[in-house]
Amino acid sequence: MNLSYRILTGLVLGGVAGLMISQSDSTLFANLPGLFAPLGSLWVNAIRMTIMPLLMALVVVAIAGQGRGGRVLAIGGKTLSLFIGLILLSSLFALLFAAPLIGLLQISSENSNVLLISSEVTAERAPLPPFKDWLTGLVPANPFAAAANGDILPLMIFTVVFSLALIQIEERLAKNVVAFFDAIKQALLVVIAWIMELAPFGIFALVLPITASLGTESVRLLGAFILMVCGLIVLLAACLYLGLWVLGHDIKKFAKTMAPVQVLGFGTRSSLAALPATIAASDILGVSQKTAGIVLPAAVTLFKFASPLARTAGTYFIAALYGIDLSVYEFIVIAMAIGLLSFYSPGIPSGGLLIMTPVYLALGLPVEGIGLLIAIDLIVDMFITVANVTANMAVTMMLDGLQET
């Protein structure tokens, strides 16, 4: 059984066990959630320890690893602008639709309070800093302190500047630094693979206390959330077809050609695994292979079209589930921050969830919620991948059309 189905099994078993405990009057069973909760926290902490060094390594390798004539720099302003514009669209979708829909789930304050107690999330949320302090803090006085404190945006700004500087120094020296960060990246991906092998047990330990506290309410909430997010992803992907139609492309041919690629993405949950089929589809659709050869690899590396929508909606859901009231400003900050982080997502299943820890820490959201989202991510991530591979091809066709004009 592959990892995704083992995680799903851990979710189901944890949910069933929690529901049985919630319906039982046994004192012995009543103590089980308290025994399993620390194990879930240990697994979440194991994920958290890899995040900051992994993000730095990903950025350095992506930018400096390509050299002066590298692919990341060669894709041009139009490509990056289109990537950013569509990521903003994805974030805007979450802001406009996800927050109101989650409000309709009717999560009672009683269930939220029980959940807070069961997961030992009792610390008050730190208020957001004034805009002036936030602005001056974007350039870190000490990047190591920024990494230690989990200040993700200042650290990423330093890392990008550092990576661009590497391109300007002697190539021999730059390669040594890039090789160092590449080794860090590869080693951390191995560590994450080990951690994810324990995911079924970590998910079981996280879900059991939650379902034991909420009872049948948890099944309703998680099922409604999955349906809501998958529906929004489908609606977002439909915008791509509309955009291509407006630009004069043959939508029927696009849909027919991309269907096998989408099925591959749905099954593997990997845009990278679907890349060869995507490149073959670009040839059928008449896209210049020069354009496809530059844009598609860059898109697979940098562009996670549906991730901001799904991950932002998940964060809103966790906040509502734990009874945390977010202001309009915080809704916007979450959407924009996760949109930015989507460019640095590791290319592994549920990778977009693994890097959201700094956002949760900055806003005082329970990091344990990320484990819950990973538990239900099998279906959601399938829809995300389908939307992502569709967006990769749509962007390539749009850029190819712009180059012809």
Rounded distance between C-alpha atoms, residue 173 and residue 161, angstroms: 17
Cβ neighbours for 388, distance < 8 A, ≥ 6 positions apart: 265, 271, 303, 304, 305, 306, 307
Least confident of 73-82, 149-158, 175-184, 373-382: 73-82
99 has a pLDDT exceeding 50:
yes
| Whole-angstrom distance, CA of residue 127 vs CA of residue 148 | 19
Residue 273 belongs to domain with CATH number: 1.10.3860
CA 236 to chain centre: 16
- Is residue 33 a contact partner of residue 209, using CB atoms and an 8 Å limit? yes
Neighbours of 74 (CB within 10 A): 12
Interval 323-353: pLDDT, tens: 788 888 888 888 888 887 777 665 555 666 7
Report DSSP letters for 159-205, one per residue.
HHHHHHHHHHS-HHHHHHHHHHHHHHHHHHHHHHHHHHHTHHHHHHH
Note whether 405 and 251 are within 8 A (CB). Answer: no
Q: Which residue range is the domain that position 197 belongs to?
A: 3-404
C-alpha 106 chain-centroid distance: 25
Can you tell me the distance from the alpha carbon of 212 to that of 233, in angstroms, rounded to the nearest whole number? 31
CA angle 12, 18, 22 (to 5 degrees): 145
Higher pLDDT, 63 or 114: 63
pTM across the whole model: 0.65
Instruction: Please give the tally of structural domains in the chain.
Output: 1
| Residues comprising the chain, all counted | 405
Q: What's at 199, amino acid-wise?
A: A
d(CA 402, CA 405): 5
What's the whole-number mean pLDDT along residues 83-104?
88
Residues 3 and 224: their CA atoms lie apart, in Å, by 24
Q: Residue 240: what pLDDT? A: 93
Across 86-100, 234-248, 270-284, 379-393, least confident range: 270-284
Interval 190-232: pLDDT, tens: 887 788 788 788 878 877 877 776 666 666 777 888 899 999 9
Radius of gyration of the chain (CA): 22
Q: Biggest alpha carbon distance in the chain?
A: 73
Is the pLDDT score of 235 beyond 80?
Answer: yes
